[in-house]
Each structure stands twice: as structure tokens, then as C-alpha cells.
Chains A and B, each alone.
Chain A
């Protein structure tokens, strides 16, 4: 039976993922004894609300940026002939083959005080002294967009490739100039891909740790970093509350998004 094939993986995931996760989350109500006191204190906590807002805001900006940059790339991927399309695909996927840590460090090199960007601008005479690019929200957004872009491009491109070319020809034949064909046919039909890409990028951005930690400033404290900080302080109950909040938000978003029929189809076609 097919179920038996999944059993080893299920055991592995339960032992090394589900069980530690569950026991960690339990600490929010179980430490030092069964109590809701941790949550009560947590809900009124200003730091948490601040950080939560920063996390949400960053995720929103990163998602919007990825969409604006990624949609044209996806469009190009679906329109180009196989030669150039393969090249663009490789360029989009190349970051996947480098670890997030390495890429984040690369951004530090690029954006630092004596980094490539500053050196270039000073060398060209545009600047007199280096700009503070690193350790800013700007750096966080740029780096996160760069890292999450493939997750936006690929679902959109996949949906766009499925758009029947005959529809585009029909629209043109019926009198629609190319820009109207895009607005009235391509764009609406690519929405499921857009929804899937937006969901993926937003959820990933919510939980991002390494990149904001390395290239962000003191005001760019994301939820994941706060959790890490509290774990370092051995403040398990508080860390558990934060984790629960993050997990709950993410799950809620996924469930809500799944209810959009287009998104379900995209997910389904990926698993077919």
C-alpha cells in the first residue's frame, strides 16, 4: 500500500519535527506548571506588538517588491523561445544553489561602508562619503526580495505557461491590441499564480531570521529574531508564546488563502 511507503518519513518527521515543535509550543502553557499566565502577560506586551508590526510590515513590503519585480520576469519566461527562456530560468534559479547565509553575507559585502556599491558611487563621483546602506530596513528589504524572488517567479510563470496561446490569438483577432490582451486576458488568468506566489513569499518572509539578523539595523527586529533572543536568555515560556503566535498567524494565512479556488488549483497542479 502506498501509505506504507510514507511511514519512514512520517516517523522521522514526527520524531525530529512534530514532537520537538509540540513540546516547545507546550511550554507556553506548561511552564512552570499548567498556566495561562504566560499568555496573559504576553498579550499586553508592547515589545511583542511592536515587533509583530515590524515583521508584518517588512513581509508586506518584501511581497510587494517581489511581485513588482517578479511578474515581468515570469511574463518573459513564458513568452521567450526555449533558448533565452532557459537562460532566464537559470538566472532565476541560481540563487537557490547558494545557501541563504552565504547570500546574506554577500549582501553585507555589497552594501557595507566599504562595500561594492559605495565604492562604485564614490568612484564615479556621485558621492563624497559612503552612504549608510547596511544595517537599515532598506537593506533588509532588498536582500529578502532577492532571496525570495524565485518563489514569486516560479508559480506565476508556471500558470502563465498554461494559458492557451489560442486565447491570445483569439483576443487579438477580436480587436484587442497587445496591451489590452495583457490586461484583459493574461493578467486575470495569471491571478492564481500571483496568489500562490504572494502567499508563499509572505509566509516565508514572516519567518525570516538570518537575513534580517545580518543586514538589518536595531529597529529591524523581526519576530524570529525576538524568539531567538529569548531562547538565548533561556526565557522558554516567552519564546514559546512568541512561536505560537507566529505559527498561528502563518497557519491562518495559509488556510484563508487556500479557500481561494485559484490557489487550490495551483497547489494541486504542483502535486500532480
Chain B
């Protein structure tokens, strides 16, 4: 080959092609090679430094939750027909894959009370950002109004994307743990493309979704001079798109977003049959009213009949994707998270219509017990008094990082340090505690004991500093 291209060595190719100034001209600073057995030992030692949610008593949540994943899910997702394929560019040959998408979409549609679901997005935050872009495509307006109750990662992703497509993000503060209704109404105007809130919100509080939707629609959605009367398409186009980021598990006990005036529901799919897996991969859910069908990212599978009248499945819509829009694609969710979404639909099927309600009721009871028990501790109070479903925020009269270290020493992870995650000064002392069906009453009692001791010790440590300062 070298002779064919007319050079004497591989090095000569680099020297001819790469300018002197950008060449490294030395070896990379990498450790020497190791035998495979030594590499295995090295990697094993690194892996042993991780702490799994099963190795400690974990009350972590903040968007991803440690639910039980039945063996059924692994059995089905590990089938090679599901586990190994790449994105179906000749989709109709993979009837099983399309049927999974169709059944997944049906389940998400029923759960959200919205008629159209796509076959999944990458994860929650990117689904939020994609919904923001859908709003821009729908009404061409430039402002996204976002509740501060959204997950901070979702707001961050939305901001990053909005910058790229020339939109402005306006954050509406919370009051008493939920979106401030006055500030919400004030922030939404005729230039607002979308109004976005989370249900339940990042601090665990249940928002009044119907009121937030109605307030958004009332401000810009109605024709001002009656000129659009009788033209429903125009009325809809003039108002903001109402987007809710939902926790699918909470929908077992909450009114469906579609019944609360929400136009687009997006969310993190991980709680549905996917383990924490150190943060991913997971999938995003994305459902909407029919008028947004053609603006939706990703793919939609449909049910049909073949020439012999037998039930079959097709890839019906992919209006923003690369294989239909070519260089003008505005979404690229191809292989996506189909396997994770499969876990999601198997989980929903396993739970069933009754099961998801019962799970929600169980979470309500346990979470209520945990919130009351923990807030009874000296130096611990509720961050807000709003109703909660599966997660709640506390305020500690102590340094949260130090308290968490003390709890960790006892094998307990009491929850997320709010200020560390949000960077908000108002979150100082905040601890976000999540409860799943895997955390028993006894587990909650143990958390209460460990947390009480840790808070007491840290308060004492803090108090002890002041007399010393006084002596100086």
C-alpha cells in the first residue's frame, strides 16, 4: 500500500499531510500497556469505588428513582431481537419492533391523556428542550416562560437549546413551594411561545396544573378584538403552548395532563422499569395534542392492515427526522432509547391500570409518613407545606454536606443536597428526600434516627464555634 501511494513509511504520510506546527512530535503520555488480567483487576478496583443504591439505604431522587424492576423486564429486553438491532431504516421488516413502539405510544397516550405519543425521546431534559422547539415551530414566537419548579437540568438544557434557535427563557419564581401564580400570569404575554411547568415540581410539590394552564391560555389565547372568532385554528395558534414535565409514576394518582389543559407532556422515563444505572441511559416521553402531530420530534408507529387484511405495524410519521427531511432535519432521534422504552412499556403492562394507581397510593402513604417523621426532628423542618406524592423538601438547621457525610458513614444516603444541585441561595439547608416502594417504614425510621443524630451533631459543632469566637 505504501508503494502504491508513493511513500516509504506511514510516518511520511503524516509528515506530508499534517503541518509541522500542529504536530505533537512526541509520544502521548499514556501508561505502558498491561496484560489483560491486570487490566481486569484495575477496572474491578475502579468499579468497587462506586456505591450502588442497593449497597446503602438510599433516599436519592431528584428526577431518577430507585423503583423495583421486575425480572420480567430483563427477560424481555435481553432477547436479541430487541437488544441488538440498530435503528430500523427498513422499519416494516421489523414488525416486532414497530409493535413495541405502537404499544408504548398507546400506554403513554393513556397515561398522559393526550392523543399522540412519539416512540420516545432520549431522556427527560432533552424532551423538554424539544418541546420548546416544537412551540417555536408551531407559533413562531420567541419567549419561553419556565417555572423555577422545573428540574434545574431541564432548565439548563432548555436554555442551551433556546440559545441555538434564537429564543429567550424567562424563569418564574416559586412561592410557598409552587409556581407563583401572579408572577406566572405576569410573565406570559403575547410574545410567549410556550409556558412550561413541572408536575410534581422539583421540590416534590404538586402544582395546580389546571390553573397554570388556564392562566397561560387566558392571557394570550383569546382573540382580543373578536377578529379570530369562529376560527379555532387561529385562536390556538395565537396562545402559548402549555408544556408540562411530568413524572409518569405520579400520573397514577394525579389528573392526566391532557385533562388539565396541557398541550404537550414530556418527562423522564427512567422510573418506568429502568434502573438508576449510575444516571443512564434512560428515555424521554413525549405526548401531545393532535394539532402538534407534524411538529413532533422522533418517530410515530402506526397500526394498519396488510393486503390480506391482517394486523400490521408501520412507521407512520417522522416529519422532522433526517431520513425524511434530509439536510433540513430538526430532530435526530433514530436508534434512540427504544430498548429503554421497551422496558417502560413492559413495566406499565406489568403494573396494569390498577397497579399504577396502587403504587401511587403506596408512595403517597409512605412519603407522608416520612415527611411527618423527619420534620418532627429537632432542627429539621418542611421546606414547603404543599401536598407531595413521592418526594419532599426539608430544611436542615445544619450544613447539609456535613450531615450527608455523617449519614453516609452509617450507610444511609438521606437525599439530595438542594443548594449543591440548584446553586440557589434560597435552597441553603435544603434536603430533597425521595421514597419508593423499596423503602419500608423500618427504613424510614432508620433514616429518621440517623438523620436526627447527624443534624444534632452538626448543630452542636456549629454552636460550639460561636462561644469560641466570643472569647477572642
Our verdict on whether A and B bind, yes or no, reads no
